[in-house]
Each structure stands twice: as C-alpha cells, then as structure tokens.
Amino acid sequence: MRRVLTGLLGLALLTGCSASGPGPVAQAPPTVGPYVALGDSYTSGPGIAPAGGGPAGCGRSAVNYPALVAKQLGVAEFTDVSCSSATTADLTGAQKLSGGSSAPPQLDALSAGTKLVTLGIGGNDVGFLDVLSRCAMAGLTGSGCRGSFRAADGTDQVTGRIATAGERLGAVLAETRRRAPAAAVYVVGYPALFPVDPAGCGKSLGRVAATADVSYLTGKAEELNAELKRRAAAAGARYVDTAVAGHDMCAAADTRWIEPPFPAAGLTPVHPNAAGQRGMAAAVLAELGRK
C-alpha cells in the first residue's frame, strides 16, 4: 500500500496537483524506453476520454495507465498496442475486431531495442466477464454461483480456466523475452472488483448478487491474480499488484476504481474508470521504483 501511495504522489506531482491545489510540476526522471504496453481492456481503458490512437475497436484511452506511466517516466518512444477483448492468443496472432477490422499481433510491437514492457492479460482467457454474467443469472434464480461452475468430477471449472490461462501466459512471457531480451517485463494484475466484506455490494448489485456469490467471485479474482504473479516470477518478470482495497465497484462513486454493472455515463461496466487507471499507473510506477 505504501508503494502505491508513493506512486500516486508522483503522479499528482507530474500533473501539477497537490492536496492544496495546483503546484509546481516535478522534474521528470531520466528518459527511458522504448516502452511497449500490451494487454486487454483493463489496460486500454475503453470509454475513458480522451480517446487514444489505434483501431477504434481497441478502445484505447489517451490517459490509460500505460500513457500515464510513459508520461511520468519521460519516455520518448512509447507504443501502446493494448486492445479490448484481447486474449493471450491475440499477442501472437491478429485480433479480429468489430466491423471486420483487425489488430496486428501485439508482440509484433516488440524489438531487440525494447527496454520496458508492461502486460495486463488473462481475464478474457478465463472468460471472467462471462463468469460474472452467469453468476448474476444464478443470483436471479437463486441457484447459486459456485454450483454452476462445478464439473461432473467435482472440480471447479473456473480454477481450470485460470490454470490454462497461466500456461498460456508462461508461453507469452517466454516469447516476449525472446523478442525483447533487454526489456524489463512487468505483469500487471487486475484491480479488486469486490470489497473485503461482500455484504457491502448490496446497494450496487442488489438482488443479482448473493453474498456467497460475491465471495466466490472475489476468490476467483484473487486466484487469477495469484496465477499471474506465479507465472511472472517463473519467467523472471515482475508482478504489479493493483488490487488495492476500498476502490472496488461497490465503493462510492468518488472512490471506486471499477465501474459497477450500471456505470457512470459513457464508461464501461466492470472496467476501470479514470481514477482506476491512475491507481494502476501509480502501482506500476511504485513497482518500477522498487529495488
């Protein structure tokens, strides 16, 4: 938590803000890079104005966490190829987008000269939004979320998906290292979706989410982040923990980093808002500064 707060302070100084109002802009650190940002919609920041470059279907924001990190670091060469709905397969193969367009393989942005890589991926491999949707339906019918993902042999299907996503991430990290051998690689985890006390989601989620279902979903989100962290360590990469308590989708509008199923106007449900992207940037910056 201390590292995240340190990163937030640095980010505030960069934008000329302080607790008492506008202040002097901090001296930028030495230029580093080239920096390449890879990832899915939690990285790209769909719906967060102003829009950034790239294919419209990727939903890249000009103020997503990679852009904020690049600005803070003073990176001269920054390439953001993150894209909504991306899976690990879209890192090595072209990604089909709505309207018949496509995005090139994200790892094609890497080169022997790349010095910094951030990667936020895995949720779509698990189908986490589908899991959330099915749990919502289970809440409406009263059938319970956990049982809907129990296989015939008694194992949990989501746990199996997480293990598979981890294997795929391991392969992606190996290929990243092959293409960018000089790069420092950071695997960025997912922010906390739900509060420590699942009962706190009653107002935001209503009857579609029983307390037991929220507990199940929280456990699976933590399980995914643990797998990402394990795979990062095995590949010699660093893991960035962005799951800061108190900023989940059930928190107050001025506190939350994740939008609820019925989000603020223009934003994407169950995705980071602008504050969430700033929080994720702070976590990345803090990890970059850690020895």
Are 199 and 248 in contact by the 8 Å Cβ rule? The answer is no
41 is catalytic: yes
Helix (H) or strand (E) holding 240: strand 238-240
Amino acid at 76: A
- Residues in Cβ contact with 199 at an 8 Å cutoff, skipping those fewer than 6 apart: 211
271 is catalytic: yes
Q: Which amino acid is at 83?
A: C
What's the CA gap between 9 and 12, in Å, rounded?
5
**Does residue 246 contact residue 191 with C-beta atoms inside 8 Å?**
no
Question: Are the C-beta atoms of residues 3 and 290 closer than 8 Å to each other?
Answer: yes
Q: Which of 18, 20, 41, 215 is catalytic?
A: 41
Angle, helices 157-179 vs 211-234, to 10°: value is 30
The answer to whether 111 touches 68, Cβ cutoff 8 Å, is no
- Location of structure tokens 């939903």: 59
Residue 38, strand partner residues: 119
Q: Which of 44, 61, 82, 271 is catalytic?
A: 271
Say how many CA atoms lie within 13 Å of 48 toward its Cβ. Answer: 28
CA distance to 111, 173, 184, 195, per residue, from 202 (Å): 48, 39, 42, 11
**Residues marked as catalytic:** 41, 271
